[in-house]
């Protein structure tokens, strides 16, 4: 296996674990996540749709079909991570490292995926 393929699969795997764990937490601890959303001044009713969107995004990224949906999935996860960074920074939360790592995994998966799985 080439180095590029290894980097792609590790980054995609870590990205998948990050977002599937997040979606699982959203679905099992909904009340806690809604409270966190309110701390960030986001509406609590977004928790379940966000969990479902994260699951679908990972499925489309791993399957890579159709291509245009895969591109939107990457974009949606990117915006989710960037908004998480801004929200955490704004309230002074020290947990900023995880979304920044998520952005790194996402960018590695996206750009290496273009050459490894065209």
Which among 4, 13, 17, 18 is positioned nearest to 99, based on CA atoms? 18
Domain that holds residue 64: 3-116
How crowded is residue 50: how many other Cβ atoms within 10 Å of its Cβ?
A: 18
pLDDT band at 94 (very low <50, low <70, confident <90, very high): confident
State residue 92's pLDDT score: 86
| Cα 47 to Cα 41: distance, rounded to the nearest angstrom | 13
Q: For tokens 């590695």, name the residue.
A: 108
Structural domains counted in the chain:
1
pLDDT at residue 91 is higher than 90 = no
Prior bond of 66 cis (ω within 30°): yes
pLDDT tens digit string along 4-59? 999 999 999 999 999 999 999 999 999 999 998 998 888 999 999 999 999 999 99
On average, the pLDDT of the chain sits at 95
Alpha-carbon distances, residue 65 vs 59, 68, 70, 72 (angstroms): 9, 8, 6, 11
pLDDT at residue 1 is higher than 90 = no
């Amino acid at each position: 296996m080439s180095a590029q393929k290894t980097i792609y699969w590790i980054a995609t795997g870590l990205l998948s674990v990050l977002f599937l764990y997040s979606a699982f937490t959203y679905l099992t601890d909904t009340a806690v996540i809604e409270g966190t959303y309110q701390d960030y001044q986001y509406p609590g009713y977004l928790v379940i749709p966000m969990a479902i969107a994260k699951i679908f995004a990972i499925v489309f990224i791993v399957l890579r079909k159709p291509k245009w949906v895969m591109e939107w999935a990457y974009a949606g996860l990117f915006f989710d991570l960037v908004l998480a960074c801004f929200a955490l920074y704004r309230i002074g939360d020290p947990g900023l490292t995880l979304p920044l790592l998520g952005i790194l995994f996402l960018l590695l998966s996206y750009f290496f995926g273009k050459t490894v799985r065209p």
